[in-house]
A and B are shown apart, each in its own frame.
Chain A
Amino acid sequence: MTALPRPPVPSRRALLRAGLAGAGLLTLAGCRSAVEHARNAAAAVDAGSPRRGGVLTVAAGIDVTPSLLFAVSANTLVQRLVFNTLTRYDDRLQPQPELATSWETSPDGLSVTLRLREDVLFHSGRRFTAEDVVFAVRNLQNPARSAQLRSTAAAVTDFRRNGDFELTLVLAHPVSNLFDLFEFMIVPDRETVEEAVAGTRLIGTGPFALTDRKPGSSLSFARNEHYWNPGRPYLDGVEVRIIPQAESLLSSLRTGQTHLSYAVRGKDAAALRTDPRFRIKQYDTGAGAHYIGVDVTAEHVRDKRVRQAIAWAVDRDRLVQQALGGYGTASSVPWPRSSPAYTEAGATHYRHDPERARALLREAGAERITLPFAHSNEPGATAIAQILQYDLQQVGIETVLQPADSPTMQKQLISQSMPALWTLSHGFAQLQPATLAVSAYPFNEARNSSRYSSPGYTDVVQRAWNRSAGDSPEARALHQQITDLLLEEEFVIDLAIAGLVEVTGQRARGVTLNKFGYLNLDDAYLTA
């Protein structure tokens, strides 16, 4: 028989004590509510028109990538808070003054003279001058900055300074998207730019200065007391909270922990539409377009009739409803409504017509084919890929889905090693059409993931780009030519323009975005 073992154990009293300590913590918790605390972080201000004070909290889905500060990526919440741009488009795409007060293009379109504000200080206290604009342009010419509008910046070949606050940019050729560049290019402090891309310090001229960054968690900004725009900003500070899980992000808005977000999924926005506590706004620049990319050198799809068949096979309206929650527009072209190239006829060129798709496939001798189809493994992209797979199956195209995470997709995209089909989204179609064709990788005439090139495409793109900005019958004709060529060749099969959805709680007012989606809080304020 076994002897009675009595190993040493924590006595019951010790356990009890531990339990009481735990309960004590919970009781302590009872005296102050974290829910209330978070809500009141924005100091109470009275109702009514613009008021000073308060901290606006923004919910973001992903953290910033410091190395991509000068590119359009996840950083759009930060770029216009800490920095300024030279000009700013209004809703009719007319440039308005920001750091540049006036501008004049020479008649031959080969130089542009800018007058600059004289009362602008960087957060470090240093005065902003023409030299900073020279630096900003040269900075974007550096390939390591990965700026999408690098080709436009590279068209600037020389700078002629006329005092500290006047500058002439000399161009290699007339450029139609120069003001796209001025909308895009933030002006950094040239003394700390390396620290900025390393993510340790951000110095700009903008309304807010970065005070703290907790990678993956939050970014805190404090009001710039010496901002050049008098009386602005109204807010004492801004806090960006990174909440990767979409359901949690929605809950943070619902509980009033955050006031504003651009990362709410369409289907969630649809659920908030009837909630009086929220206002939902859509920008006509859109949040990029979902597309099917095609490797035009791959078997079967090298025939453009097969690509057109795919374009006819997709039920774009169902995709908008089921994958985007209705926040988006079915479209056969990359252009959202804000683009000068947008036409109703172009957007609705391809409708859901499985019969026509099957006929084209028969004609091309590509019935019952199987194609690999890559997509991002995030839930939204996976839903889109499954919808597309089903629609293609209905016309006799079997696809093998290949989910991968975004770095993998990106590497395949840049190195032109995508499979026959893939689905992703692209931007840069919201402004001058030339910007899309010389800046966005899927459409780049010189080198793109589809391995598509043709003298006709290069020619029409170069003609649309190498001209001065401005609306004219010739410009419109060129845009139409680009649209027609894209619709005919379908190396990028556009599906839908994603809605750029802004969800604000009742308290936040006066929030705007520029045409590249940079968050502008100059005029924003919080009501009580």
Chain B
Amino acid sequence: MRTFLLKRLPSGLLVLVLASFLVFLILRLIPGDPATTLAGPDATPAAVEAIRGQLGLDQPLFGQYLSWLGHLLSGDLGPSYAIGGQVADLIGNGLGATAQLTLGALLLVVLIALPLAVAGATTRRRPVAAAVQAVTTGILAVPPFVTGVLLVLLFAVSFELLPAGGHESLLAEPDLAVQYLAMPAICLALPSAAVLARYLKDGIERALAEDYVRTATALGVSRRRIVWRHALPNALPSAVTVLGLQIGHLVAGAVLVERIFAWPGLGQLIEQGVLRRDYPVVQDLLLLVVAVYVAVQLLTDLAYTWLDPRIRWE
């Protein structure tokens, strides 16, 4: 385990360095310029040049890159260009909201996928299997921006059960916060839940066809016990990989879902940052996303090896 970590950490750091370089480059490949965004629609070229100088955008690219890395390492993220305020505060505020949304969605993914997969894989009644099939496919076929708007029209506008969008702090007002969280979390969770359910169902079905299940059945072990204690655990490792991948999709999906539900998270921040070419905000945020992702992958791999003893930590 320690050797595993020792081996993984340096390569993780390498990924971060590579990512920082890519992030920096990609932002500058996208046309448009922070100075023109800051200067406004009726600015004179002189005003734009003055702002470029102020922001240090007239410096050579490599120098800009090094100065950004220097700031990062010193722990001072500095002020944002166009959004206003310090980058660290902006990211800090957004992080809380996005963490709430993503964790809420992740919980829902598991809660939705597990029963669907088990029901779909073990039922002998065709209507149930067909229903599971229809639900998982239906969810995948409808894009989240349609689901989101439909949910709002249904639960907020027609039934007036849930607020149409917005956010409350989970710490200050937990009961209200859960209601604000409900629709965006469902909207975000559904596609991933469908994908996970499909893999899990497949894994369980495959495990049920294995020899040891036949043996266990012959030995008189109850079907329920076989599914929950033998088939499901065998299907988990590959499902965990999928879940790990889905976390990436959850973070990416947050951009769409946060927009639809006016959820003040990192997805909105990144979109705002890109739309205003706020380089510091986007650079720091993207790097953070990569770092979190690398960490999640590390944990997934740990869980994978822990769940499947056939794979050793080499």
Contact = CB atoms under 8 A, between A and B. Distances in A.
- A contacts B: CB pair < 8 Å: yes
Interface stretch (A86-94, A132-140, A172-180, A401-409): A401-409
B84 interface: yes
Interface in A214-248: 214-218, 241-245, 247-248
B44 interface: yes
Given A199-B84, A216-B269, A217-B264, A5 B234 contact: yes
A19 B46 CA distance: 62
Interface string B247-272: 00000000000011110100011011
A255 B37 contact: no
A255 B84 contact: no
A407 B262 contact: no
A304 interface: no
Nearest to A414: B36
B107 A1 contact: no
A143 B156 CA distance: 46
A66 interface: yes
Interface string A27-38: 011011111011
Contacts of B271: 244
- Taking chain A's interface residues, is the majority helix, strand, or loop, or is none over half, making it mixed? mixed
Most chain B CB neighbours (cut-off 10 Å) among A2, A143, A440: A143
A143 to B, nearest CB: 4
B152 A247 contact: yes
Interface stretch (A7-15, A335-343, A384-392, A518-526): A7-15
Interface stretch (A67-75, A109-117, A482-490): A67-75
Interface residues of B, number: 82
A251 interface: yes
A241 B309 CA distance: 52
A68 B216 contact: no
B32 A67 contact: no
A410 B215 CA distance: 71
Contacts of A439: 42
Contacts of B80: 215
B168 interface: yes
B179 A415 contact: no
Nearest to B84: A199
B124 interface: no
A25 B178 contact: yes
B202 interface: no
A6 interface: yes
Given A19-B111, A441-B42, A4 B276 contact: no
B162 A35 contact: yes
Contact of A33 (B31, B179, B234, B276): B179
Interface in B216-267: 216, 228-230, 232-234, 236, 259-262, 264
B266 to A, nearest CB: 10
B48 interface: yes
Contact of B156 (A5, A65, A251): A251
A405 B275 contact: yes
Contact of A414 (B43, B233, B269): B43
B175 A29 contact: yes
Given A4-B230, A248-B165, A71 B42 contact: yes
A4 B164 contact: no
A6 B84 contact: no
A269 B277 CA distance: 32
Interface residues on A, range: 35 or more
A254 interface: yes
Contacts of B212: 1-5
Nearest to B268: A216
A144 interface: yes
Contacts of B51: 144
B42 A255 contact: no
A255 B261 contact: no
A441 B38 CA distance: 16
A486 B182 CA distance: 54
Contacts of A323: none
A217 B163 contact: no
Contacts of B152: 247-248, 251
Contacts of A410: 32, 36-37, 41
Interface string A402-429: 0011111011011100000000000000
Contacts of B107: 18, 22
B142 to A, nearest CB: 15
Contacts of A242: 262
Interface string A83-103: 000000000000000000000
Given A411-B31, A414-B43, A6 B233 contact: yes
A244 B306 contact: no
B307 A241 contact: no
Contacts of A6: 229-230, 233
A26 B183 CA distance: 13
B5 interface: no
Given A63-B83, A245-B262, A414-B45, 19 more contacts: A2-B210, A4-B212, A6-B229, A28-B175, A71-B40, A143-B46, A144-B39, A146-B43, A200-B85, A215-B83, A215-B90, A216-B269, A247-B260, A252-B164, A254-B157, A255-B160, A406-B275, A408-B30, A413-B41
17 contacts: A3-B212, A6-B229, A6-B230, A7-B236, A35-B160, A35-B179, A68-B38, A146-B38, A199-B85, A213-B84, A216-B272, A244-B268, A255-B164, A407-B36, A407-B275, A410-B41, A447-B44
Interface of B: 30-33, 36-48, 50-51, 54, 79-80, 82-85, 90, 93-94, 107, 111, 114, 149, 152-153, 156-157, 160-168, 174-176, 178-180, 182, 210-212, 215-216, 228-230, 232-234, 236, 259-262, 264, 268-269, 271-272, 275-277, 306-310
